[in-house]
Amino acid sequence: MNFSQFKQNFSLRLDPQQEAAVQAVDGPVLLLAVPGSGKTTVLVARLGYLRYVRGVPAEKILTMTYTVAAARDMERRYAAQFGAQAAEEMEFRTINGVCSRIIRAYERALGRTAFRLVEDSGQKNALMGELYRNLTGEFASESTLKNLQTAITYGKNQMLRGEQLAGIDVEEVDFPAFYQAYNRALREREWMDYDDQMVYALQILRQYPQILRDVQARFAYFCVDEAQDTSKIQHVILRLLAGERGNLFLVGDEDQSIYGFRAAYPQALTEFDTVYPNARVLFLEQNYRSTRQIVSAADRFIQKNQHRRPKHMRAAQGDGPEIREISVYSRREQYSYLCKVAEHCTRETAVLYRDNDSALPLIDRLDRAGIPYRCRQVDSLFFTNRVVRDVTDIIRFAQNPSDGERFGRIYFKLGAGISRAMTQEAAAWAGRTGGDILGYLADMPAASPWTRKQCRALQTHMDHLLEERADKAVYRIVHFMGYGTYLEERGGDLSKAEILEALGAEEPTPKRLLKRLEELREVVQAGSDQTECPFVLSTIHSSKGLEYERVILMDVADGMLPKILPKPGASPEELEAYEEERRLFYVGMTRAKRELSVFTFRKDNISSIFSTELFPKEETKKAAPAKGTSPVKQVKSEQIAALAKDYIPGTRLIHKSFGAGILTARTGDIAAVAFDSGAVKKIAVATALRSGQLRLEGDGQR
C-alpha cells in the first residue's frame, strides 16, 4: 500500500504540512503544532502509516503521552480510525507507566523486589504531615501539603541536587531539609512515590545496560504526544530509549508549555536539533479551530516571547467578530457582569482564569442567586491556605479575646513586639480568669511602652472589626493591624486576602463571613453537576486541549494574569516565568472558536500589560492632579517601585489614617514612621502607596 492508497482507504484528509509529518518516520523528528492544527489526527495517522505503509509490526511501536486519560483518548482515536482490533495490538502508555515496566523488568532480571509504590495519597500525606511537624512544630494544612507535593515533584523531575533545591520556596519551610527527610523516610520504609518511578527507572537504564538493550530490542519506534509538558528527567529517559537508531517522534508546541510548576521542560523542544544533530523539525501552522481575528491576535501576542521557535499560526476558518474588550470599573463589577451572562446563557460560553481563587467570588454569587453553571476542577485549597487561616484566626480571636491557643498562632503576625514569653503568661492568665489577653498585655509592666500602646490599639481594632462589614474588617486586618506588613516582610501573597475581601463584600459582618466560608467550601467540594449547562468555569490549565464557542478571560490584571511581571535586570529564571505567563494567556485565547472577550478594569492600579497589548490606547497627556488629591492614586502599578525610592529616612510624609510624620528608618520595603501624634508604626511602603494611603508631605497641595 502506498501513501495515496493509505489516505484513500482510511478516508484521511490532510494538508501538505500534515502529510509531511505523517511520512516522517525515520530518525529523530520534532513536530511543532500550533493550537487547533490537528496534531492528534496527524499522530494517529502516522501510527497507521507505520503499520500499513511501512509494514512496522504493532508491537514495535510505543506511543507515550502525559496522562492516563490522554493515553486512553489516543487509543480511542486510533480505534475509531483503524479499528478496535488494530488498537488492541498497539502500546499506548504514559511515561510513568513505561518506567513502571522498566522497574518490573529489573525485578525479573535480577530476582529482586523493588520498593513499593505508594498509591494511597492519604498514606503519603500522613508521612509528609509528620515530617512537616517535626521540622516546624506546626500542623500542615491541606494547602501546605499540596504545595510541598508540587515542590517534591518539581525537584525530582528537574533532577535538582544540593543547592539547587534551596531555590524552592514553600511557605517558609526549609525545603532542602524537608526534601531530604522525605526521601530518607521513603527509603527507610522501602516505598517510592510516582516521581521515584522515573528516578529509579533512569538509574536502572544507566546501571544495567542489558535492561536498556531489551527495551530497545522490543520497540523500534517511539512516539510522544504533548512533548512540551514532559519534564527534564523524562526527556533524558526518552533519549536513552531511542538509542542509536533515534526513531523518536515528539509532538508538541513550546508556545503551549504552561506546566512549569510541575517541571515541564519546553527547552527540550527549542534545543531538540542540538541534542539530536540529525533531527528534522517540522511544523503544523494551520489553525482549524478559530476565526481569523482570534488567530491573528493570538499569533501577534505570542510572537513577543523570545524563547521559542520562529513560526506563525494561520487561520483556516473565515472571519468572525473582533476580539471584545469588556471594560468595567472593578472586579466587583466583573462578577456582576458575569452573573448576568450566566443567567441568560443559551450558548457555550467558557469563563477562563489563571487560578481557582479567581472563581470563588463568582461561584459565591452564582450559588446565592441559584444560577446554574458547570465547573471544571475547582479545588478547595484556598480555605486551608495560611493567609486565609490567619485572617479567620484574627476574626475568631476578636470574638473570643481570651483564646490563648489561637492568640499563640497570631501574636507575632500583628507587629506589636509581643514576645513568646509574654504571650504564654497572658494566655495562662486568660485561661484562669477568662480575661482579655490584649488588655492584660497592655498593662503588663514587662512590656515596652510601645508594645503596650500597640496592644491597646489592637484591642480597639478587634472591637471595631466585629461591627463592620466583612470586607472592611478584612481590609482593617491587612492594612491597619500589621498583618499586611508581616506578609510583605516575608514576600507573602496578598491575593488571598483580596479574595476574602471580595467574598466579605457580600456579608454584613465578619461572623457571617466565617459561616459563608464553611458553606462555600462545601459548594466547591461538591462541584457542579450541571453537565448540560452551557456556562462553564475553568482555569486555563484545565481548559488546555478543549475548545469553546465563546471564551471570556477574567481577572486579566497585573499580579493576577500575569501573576509575574518582567523586571529590569531580571534573571533568566524570572524571564522564563514571565514568558510562561504569556504562554498561559495565549492558551486561553486559543480555546475560543468564534468569540473572545477580555475584561479590563478602569479602577486605579488594576492595569494589565496583556490587555494593553490587545487593546492599545492612544497616549494622551494626563491632566494635573486636582488640588488636595494625591498623585499616587493615579499611577500604574509598575510606577510604585520608582515612587517608593523617595521614601528615605528623614522624609516627611502623610498617611491617610495616621496623619503626618517622619520616616525614621527603612529596611527593604518596611519603614518605621514616628507620627506627630506620638505613634510609631511600621509601614509597608509599596502596599501603602498602592492603596493610596501614603504620600510625601506637600504632594498634591502645591
Q: What pLDDT is stored for residue 697 in this prediction?
A: 75
Whether the pLDDT of residue 632 is over 50: the answer is: no
pLDDT band at residue 628 using 50, 70 and 90 as cut-offs: very low
Q: What pLDDT is stored for residue 208 in this prediction?
A: 97
- Compute the mean pLDDT over every residue in the chain, rounded to the nearest whole number: 91
Residue 27, classified by CB atoms within 10 Å of its CB into exposed (0-12), middle (13-18) or buried (19+), is middle
Query: What is the arithmetic mean of pLDDT over 566-577?
Result: 88
pLDDT in tens, 448-474: 999 999 999 999 999 999 999 999 999
pLDDT band at residue 642 using 50, 70 and 90 as cut-offs: low
Whether the pLDDT of residue 408 is over 80: the answer is: yes
pLDDT band at residue 377 using 50, 70 and 90 as cut-offs: low
Q: In the chain, what percentage of residues exceed pLDDT 90?
A: 77
**Cross-strand bridge partners of residue 286:** 314
Give phi and psi for 93, each to the nearest 5: -135, 160
pLDDT in tens, 194-243: 999 999 999 999 999 999 999 999 999 999 999 999 999 999 999 999 99
Nearest to 436, CA basis, from 455, 417, 419 = 455
Whether the pLDDT of residue 398 is over 80: the answer is: yes
The H or E element that residue 234 is part of is: helix 232-242
Alpha carbon distances (Å) from 364 to 329, 354, 361, 515, 679: 20, 18, 5, 13, 40
Query: What is the arithmetic mean of pLDDT over 485-497?
Result: 86
Contact present, 553 and 545 (Cβ < 8 Å): no
pLDDT in tens, 171-202: 778 999 999 999 999 999 999 999 999 999 99
pLDDT in tens, 237-293: 999 999 999 999 999 999 999 999 999 999 999 999 999 989 999 999 999 999 999
Q: What is the DSSP string of 265-330?
A: -THHHHTHHHHSTT-EEEEE-EESSS-HHHHHHHHHHHTT-SSS-----EE-S---PPPEEEEESS
Which of 404-413, 515-524, 597-606 shows the lowest mean pLDDT across its residues? 597-606
Q: In the chain, what percentage of residues exceed pLDDT 70?
A: 95
Whether the pLDDT of residue 533 is over 60: the answer is: yes
At residue 658's C-alpha, the angle toward residues 627 and 677, to 5°, is: 115
**Cross-strand bridge partners of residue 116:** 191
What's the pTM value of the predicted model, to 2 decimals?
0.85
pLDDT in tens, 71-86: 999 999 999 999 999 9
Distance CA 359, CA 1 (A): 53
Q: What pLDDT is stored for residue 699 in this prediction?
A: 61
Q: What pLDDT is stored for residue 635 in this prediction?
A: 39
Whether the pLDDT of residue 404 is over 90: the answer is: yes
Number of H helices, E strands in the chain: 31, 21
